[in-house]
Amino acid sequence: MLRFLTAGESHGPGLTAIIEGLPAGVPLDQRAINVQLKRRQRSFGRGARMKIEQDEVEILAGVRKGLSLGSPIALFIKNLDWVNWQDVMSANPAEIVPEKEEARKLTRPRPGHADLAGGLKYRQADLRNVLERASARETAARVAVGTVARIFLEKLGCRVISHVVQIGSVAVNSLDADYFKISELAVESPVACADSEAAGKMVREIEQAREKGETLGGIFEIICLSLPPGLGSHVHWDRRLDARLAAALMGIPSVKGIEVGLGFRGAPVPGSAYHDPIYYSPRAGFYRSTNHAGGLEGGMTNGAPLVLRAVVKPIPTLRTPLPSVDFLTKEPVQAAFERSDVCVVPSAAVVGEAMAAWVLASAVMEKFGGDTFDEVRRRWEEYLSYIEQA
């Protein structure tokens, strides 16, 4: 079984992740992880914090001479902002400077953030004790973990890509390109959008939002390619791959809805036009002319590209804050504002890729699992040749 945990506060010393269950013999290079960490950081619409952080992973355990050992893998990403926060955030009370701690205290909960519910639940007088872990800074660790899963999948020939299809009111209509081209164009775009005309409008909409002290949400699409049929299972609710993918994507801060294939857009479509007819040819095997199901039927991959969408709400830290109530005095106030991002949709797409890769690698390990990568690969290849002959 593959599993992982992360630890770390947004302004603490850094983010730690431990991965367990990866077989021995997977080639892991920190440079490949750093490429994905950079992608998460650099999109248009991020705030000043991203000028401070230069996320780079350190592999502290579980890898020797570039290969996984089958032991737990420990990853660490330093927070470069820590030097500015040590006297507020230190685990050592002797290092805390009370005036600085007071100045950073948060008592005006932001609507839409974890501040209020978390403060009540964990009985905190300083809501910073909630904010610090609720912050999407933690998603840097998920990208590092997901990249390990991505490398594992790529060794089996699978790809996970993404692109942004909507930011604020600007949506991409339909894209006349294959998924590889879409991915290439998206990687080059400042807003991860493969349609350059829409991307230009998205950039302008983000600029206008920044001027107004607003924030913007949007939609990203994840596509997973070259998966065999039969990952996941119809036999239990918690083995259905669509349920597991949706949970992993919903766990990304600000993600508020998931579509599989046509998703919500399928509501007005009659069944005869919705479902993807099945054909067979000796060369292609079973195939479809459409993919409204998004590559998932009965909770299993069906061999078609797996297509998911996630809607991201506009982030709740607003420069022109909404009404709130002081957590301690109960007086009406304006919600707190901390330096923040205007739009995180392109970054969320990178996190989405990471989480999708994680769920898929877990499903691969469940079906083909072994202690070494070669064992997994042999079982995988044997299954692929069975599928080819089926």
Q: Which residues bind ligand EPS (CB under 6 A)?
A: 10, 47, 49-50, 53, 81, 135-137, 140, 317, 338-341
Least spacing, CB of residue 156 vs ligand EPS, in Å: 30
The C-alpha atoms of residue 14 and residue 369 are separated, in whole angstroms, by 32
Residue of minimal Cβ distance to ligand EPS: 49
Name the 3-class secondary structure at 157: coil
Rank residues 121 and 339 by Cβ distance to ligand EPS and give the closer one: 339
Least spacing, CB of residue 213 vs ligand EPS, in Å: 15
| Structural Rg of the chain based on CA atoms | 22
Least spacing, CB of residue 321 vs ligand EPS, in Å: 13
Least spacing, CB of residue 139 vs ligand EPS, in Å: 6
Rank residues 71 and 334 by Cβ distance to ligand EPS and give the closer one: 334
Name the 3-class secondary structure at 270: coil
The C-alpha atoms of residue 279 and residue 51 are separated, in whole angstroms, by 52
CB 37 within 8 A of CB 140: yes
How crowded is residue 382: how many other Cβ atoms within 10 Å of its Cβ?
A: 11
CB 270 within 8 A of CB 372: no
Least spacing, CB of residue 79 vs ligand EPS, in Å: 8
Rank residues 137 and 201 by Cβ distance to ligand EPS and give the closer one: 137
Closest to 211 measured CA to CA, from 320, 312, 83 = 320
Residue 26: half-sphere exposure toward Cβ, Cα within 13 Å: 30
Let me know if 112 is exposed, middle or buried by CB neighbors in 10 A (0-12, 13-18, 19+): middle
Rank residues 86 and 340 by Cβ distance to ligand EPS and give the closer one: 340
Rank residues 327 and 373 by Cβ distance to ligand EPS and give the closer one: 327
Rank residues 64 and 339 by Cβ distance to ligand EPS and give the closer one: 339
Rank residues 10 and 68 by Cβ distance to ligand EPS and give the closer one: 10
Name the 3-class secondary structure at 370: coil
Least spacing, CB of residue 383 vs ligand EPS, in Å: 38
CB 172 within 8 A of CB 202: no
Closest to 82 measured CA to CA, from 9, 174, 161 = 9
DSSP-derived secondary structure letter, 6:
E
Least spacing, CB of residue 77 vs ligand EPS, in Å: 9
